Amino acid sequence: MNLLLRLIKVFPPELSHAIALNSLKILHFLNLIHLFFPKPKIQRVSLFGMDLVNRLGIAAGLDKNGDFIDSLGSLGFGFIEVGTITPMAQKGNPKPRIFRIFNENAIINRLGFNNKGVDHLVKKLKKRKFNGIVGVNIGANKESSGQDRINDYLTCFRKVHELCDYITVNISSPNTPNLRDLHQSDNLTDLLNAIEGEVIKVNYAKPIFLKISPDESRESLESIIQAVDESSFSGLIATNTTINKDNLENPRYKKLTGGLSGKPLMSKSTKTIIDIKNISLNMDIIGVGGVMTKEDFHEKINAGAGLVQIYTGFIVHGPKIVNELLK
């Protein structure tokens, strides 16, 4: 299996991604997945109104369309987040759009919310057999702006809210033009108020998280936290990828556009968690960004995250990382 994982990395990034996930799906179908990747011991925890088998989740972006919920769930994750999903299917940005920097445990991506659309995800959510916690990360189509952009979030919310255990509102991808403008106070208030209206209309009582950028100033972070505190949102996911490449050692990648994830993001995303807790001690946080080791996992929790997600660590180290983090 380790040889297969090494061979997969030779292929172009998106082909490697598809081969790896489909291989897991086949192993799950054949009921062989635990021969290669034993489930970790159950470490039950109740947080944010959810009962989980452990604190470790897979971040949005790995399974954008909900095609691999059951196979990923069988690895022993406490929760799985699918998406980012948009109302209409879209191809995303032109290739090449993923750059793997294995010697630095890092990835730069400029995918641009490529996905099959919310209706495809709805079908997958209805068919899933995994009975663990599943969250849906919602976003906006690339061509949408202004009120149309807000309406995109509302469309996704309406279609998935009954089929998942929590919802994440993604305003922080650097790869959709002007999406991060939603961090600005007036724009964010408009979005949160619109979602608040839907929450009231459908009597939605499950958690909602706002996924934020690690590149915000202290002033911006304070404004975001105030807006979330005044809304029905449960908390924050900290953080998405960073556009700052200063922590990369290889100068070849420093000027690439796109979001940087993996080990070079670890300290920055963890600092954001600490800053959030310094501003609002009671803010609920899902921590994500740069987790590669058990020590990284616990560092996020000690910083103030109740739950932790991985993405790049899963791609770099493969499914064995689930057990390694939860030992």
Catalytic residues: 173
Q: Which residue has the tokens 């691999």?
A: 68
Contact 267, 290 (CB under 8 A): yes
Distance (Å, whole) CA 101 – CA 8: 15
Token readout for 275 is 């800053």
CA dihedral 292, 60, 223, 194 (to 10 degrees): -170
Q: CA nearest 132: which of 203, 62, 57, 207?
A: 57
- DSSP state, 42? P
Residue type, 114: N
Contact 117, 325 (CB under 8 A): no
Phi-psi region of 105 (alpha: psi -120 to 50; beta: other; left: phi over 0): left
Task: For residue 262, list its beta bridge partners.
Answer: 106
Give Cβ neighbours of residue 57 (< 8 Å, ≥ 6 apart).
77, 78, 79, 80, 81, 133, 135, 286, 307, 308, 309, 310
- DSSP state, 301? H
